[in-house]
Amino acid sequence: MNNTLYIIIPCYNEEEALPITAQVLLSKLRQLLFEDKISADSRIMLVDDGSRDTTWQVIEKLAAANTEFCGVKLSGNRGTQKALLAGMEQAVEHCDFIVSTDADLQDDINAIDKMVDEYQRGAEIVYGVRSSRESDTFLKRFTAEMYYKLLNWLECGTVFNHSDYRLMSKRAVQTLMQYGERDMFIRGILPMVGYKSVTVEYERRERNAGKTKYTISSLIRLATMGITSLSLKPLGLIRWLGALMIAAAAIIVIVGLIRGGIGAVGAISANLWLVGGIMTIALGVVSEYVGRILAETKKRPRYHIEKTVNIEERFED
């Protein structure tokens, strides 16, 4: 079995964390090489997602000092999912399997050993799954678990407590590339690939340096993209929402009329607010889907590669 591994790390404004992360990952890469689990052609690919700090300069220095590092620079900030896709599309011709993880080292890299073992036993997709969320705040833990449960209820087919820490075989990456969505929610699309998959549990840690680049708005955008790209069920729910709205409106009007006078006026006013609020929600859901459709029909490139270092120059969109 060929065992060339590429570890792909999307980076956005990670000038503080990257020097530490790079050395830890290099030690892991060399350990796997020493144990004869991977080949000497294995690399660490750092993808700069349009950073505004000196992240690219850090990547260039790492690549100049050690050929085990290679880099891809996107011309603008396109988001983690597109940065991952850019790295995978650049790496797939040079490797037999990839591991993707974040630049902050919150994902325990020692789980890579187990992932590689599972790959060598025949698994083509190995999902890194958090064993617990005890280190999260109550709000973050609650919202995250509710989101995964919501995805499951919407029949989206995602892996519970899995983000973007995973191993994929070359064939799995090539198959994933056949999905043409401009805004691809990888963790939701990947189960559709259908190849043999397993999970590996790990403990999530604190960031090694710097601050998280995920804002509330970016997390909401990612969550919304995941739902709208994987399930049509919200559109069907609007019909039931309309039925409930009619029933609620009828009850409010009847109660208001029974009370008479000002009560009737209040009931009608409340009814109008209810109708307006629910219609706004319904239009918002429909608009989200229409917006996704519009973005896909334009067929614009997912990203543009500005520079690469230590890899073959393949400027693909």
- Residue 286 is predicted with a pLDDT of 73
**Are 19 and 112 in a shared domain?**
yes
- Residue 9 is predicted with a pLDDT of 93
What is the domain count for the chain?
2
Query: Could you give the CA distance from residue 262 to residue 280 in angstroms, rounded to a whole number?
Result: 27
Report the pLDDT averaged over residues 307-312: 82
**In which band, very low, low, confident or very high, does the pLDDT at 178 lie, cut at 50, 70 and 90?**
confident
**Are 213 and 259 in a shared domain?**
no
Least confident of 55-59, 164-168, 228-232: 228-232
- Residue 25 is predicted with a pLDDT of 93
SS (H, E, C) the chain: CCCCEEEEEEECCCCCCHHHHHHHHHHHHHHHHHCCCCCCCCEEEEEECCCCCCHHHHHHHHHHHCCCEEEEEECCCCCHHHHHHHHHHHHCCCCCEEEECCCCCCECCCHHHHHHHHHHCCCCEEEEEECCCCCCCHHHHHHHHHHHHHHHHCCCCCCCCEEEEEEEEHHHHHHHCCCCCCCCCHHHHHHHHCCCEEEEEECECCCCCCCCCCCHHHHHHHHHHHHHHHCCHHHHHHHHHHHHHHHHHHHHHHHHHHHCCHHHHHHHHHHHHHHHHHHHHHHHHHHHHHHHHHHHHHCCCCCCEEEEECCCCCCCC
- Residue 183 is predicted with a pLDDT of 74
**In which band, very low, low, confident or very high, does the pLDDT at 313 lie, cut at 50, 70 and 90?**
very low
Least confident of 97-101, 115-119, 179-183, 282-286: 282-286
**Are 224 and 253 in a shared domain?**
no
**In which band, very low, low, confident or very high, does the pLDDT at 236 lie, cut at 50, 70 and 90?**
low
Domain-embedded: residue 148? yes
Least confident of 23-37, 208-222, 299-313: 208-222
**Are 237 and 274 in a shared domain?**
yes
Domain-embedded: residue 211? yes
Cα(first)–Cα(last) distance of the chain, in Å? 31
Residue 280: give the domain boundaries.
Answer: 232-298
**Are 83 and 201 in a shared domain?**
yes
- Residue 116 is predicted with a pLDDT of 93
**Are 240 and 225 in a shared domain?**
no
Q: Mean pLDDT score of the chain, rounded to an integer?
A: 78
**Are 169 and 208 in a shared domain?**
yes
**Are 255 and 121 in a shared domain?**
no
For the cut 90, the answer to whether the pLDDT of residue 294 exceeds it is no
**Are 243 and 304 in a shared domain?**
no
pLDDT in tens, 33-56: 999 999 999 999 999 998 888 999
